[in-house]
Every structure is written in structure tokens, then in C-alpha cells.
Amino acid sequence: MTKVNSLPIGIFDSGVGGISVLKHIRELLPHENLLYFADSKFAPYGNKSPEFIRARARYLAGFLIEQGAKALVVACNTATAAAVNLLRENYAVPIIGMEPAVKPAAIVSKTGVIGVLATSGTLKSAQFAALLESYGQNVQVVTQACHGLVECIERGELNTPATKILLNTYLQPLLDAGADTIVLGCTHYPFVRKLIEELVGEEVILVDTGAAVARHLKRRLLQTDLLTGLDKPGQANFWTNSQSVCAKQVISQLWGASADTVILD
């Protein structure tokens, strides 16, 4: 093992949503050291311009690489659509992005109608149009931007009456259209999966890409000979620029354990 192998993996999102991906990475790669940056001061990205998101992504990638990241995961569908190509042009480390799981959803749907919950930034992107072009031809795809939902999750409100009412307004049109499969196309949404299940019933299949992203990351690290050789449990370190007094508490709540978090301005 070289020194590079023991370096950490850097992961970022517009906020705390990417922790849903981080958990899959931790499970699949228990010995890797993980660095997570929640850009919560600037969340949500969903309604920001692609230029703004590209500037944030460059800053976050640069920050994590400065901390020694040997690979990066853009644990955000919106930032991937806006910025992953730019990041790959600028940094030599492996960079894993993510996109809504339209392909697997189209395969499992029996009614031929799939719903996609995502941010408006993702839904408006050229990448999403290309995804529909490739995998959405034989199904009807009903999209739904979920304004306000990321903010609820950033506050740790995963099961409040207000979050439930908001979710219900976004899910009903998908159910009315006959969707039997719903894509959670934003990394924040797996944190309200239970509530979604409650609202749509157990017949409806929910798909997200967290586990697939972790598998892809593992494959890339194998191919590039960058997997860690360490055999002790890896550490996870968090940074957030959230202005909320509850920032650390929400990160630990979502991570499921006390999280070592540094608050930046």
C-alpha cells in the first residue's frame, strides 16, 4: 500500500442530503476515511443558477482536495448535473457523480408510469433530458420538483406534520398519474423515505441511487488501485457552513451517531 491509498475520500452536497450516500459508502467501504462537506449555507441548490452551483462545486472540490482527498463523490444530483464535467476537467482524482435512477425505475415499473421527485435544477438540466432520451422512451415519466422539502430535511424535520403535508402535495399527482415506481432523485429525499412509504403505500416501489454510487466508487478505487489497505475502521469527519444553531445536531441525527463536525463560516 502506498501513502495515497490511506488518504480519505471527499464527499460533498448542497447540505446534509449527501449523508444518505455517505452511509452507503461507509457500509461498503468500512476501512476508508471519509470527509464530508455540507454546503448548507448555500442550500438549496435546486433553485440556483448552474453558474452559481459550478462556483460552489469548484470551491468544495478544492477544499476537499486540499484536505488530501484521493477521490471525490458529488453526492448531489443537482451539482452533478451542473458541475461534474467541469470538476473532471479541473481535478485529476477520480470523481463520481450521480443522477436520478430513471433506468432501474423504467425496468421495474409494471404500469409503465414512473414518477421522479427531484429539484427543479436537476429536472431542467441537459443531463436529465439526456437521461430521459436514453431510458425514458418506453415509459411515461412524471416529474415533480419538491420546493421546500430540502429545507425541511436541513432542519432535521423528517417526520413533522408540515413535512408530511408538503410531501403529500408532491406525491399525489404521481399517484394520480398511475405511477407504481418513484425515483428519489435528490440525495436529501431518502431521509423522508419512511414518510413517503406511509403516504404512497407499500405497493409503490421507491428507488434511489445511494447504494449504486457506493458500488461505482468501489469499482473506480479498485481500477485506479486507490483502495485503502488499512484494516481498522475508517473515520468520518464533517464540515458544515450552516448558520443554524442545530447544525451539528442534525448531522449527527442523519449520520445515526455522534459526528465529528467542524463549523466553518
Active site residue 246: no
CB 22 within 8 A of CB 255: yes
CA dihedral 90, 184, 45, 80 (to 10 degrees): 10
**Closer Cβ to ligand DGL, 6 or 244, answer by number:** 244
**Closer Cβ to ligand DGL, 76 or 139, answer by number:** 76
How far apart are the C-alpha atoms of 64 and 44, rounded to whole Å?
Answer: 20
How far apart are the C-alpha atoms of 238 and 30, rounded to whole Å?
Answer: 16
Catalytic residue among 146, 152, 186, 246: 186
Binding site for ligand DGL (CB under 6 A): 13-15, 17, 43-46, 76-78, 119, 122, 150, 186-188
Minimal distance in Å, beta carbon 188 to ligand DGL?
5
Minimal distance in Å, beta carbon 228 to ligand DGL?
26
Could you tell me where the DSSP H helices lie in 67-192? 77-90, 102-108, 120-124, 126-135, 149-154, 161-176
**What distance separates the 2 farthest-apart alpha carbons in the chain?**
55
**Closer Cβ to ligand DGL, 29 or 186, answer by number:** 186
Minimal distance in Å, beta carbon 93 to ligand DGL?
21
Active site residue 76: yes
**Closer Cβ to ligand DGL, 122 or 144, answer by number:** 122
Minimal distance in Å, beta carbon 85 to ligand DGL?
16
CA angle 108, 192, 117 (to 5 degrees): 50
| Strand pairing class (205-207; 113-118) | unpaired
Where in the sequence numbering do the catalytic residues fall?
76, 186
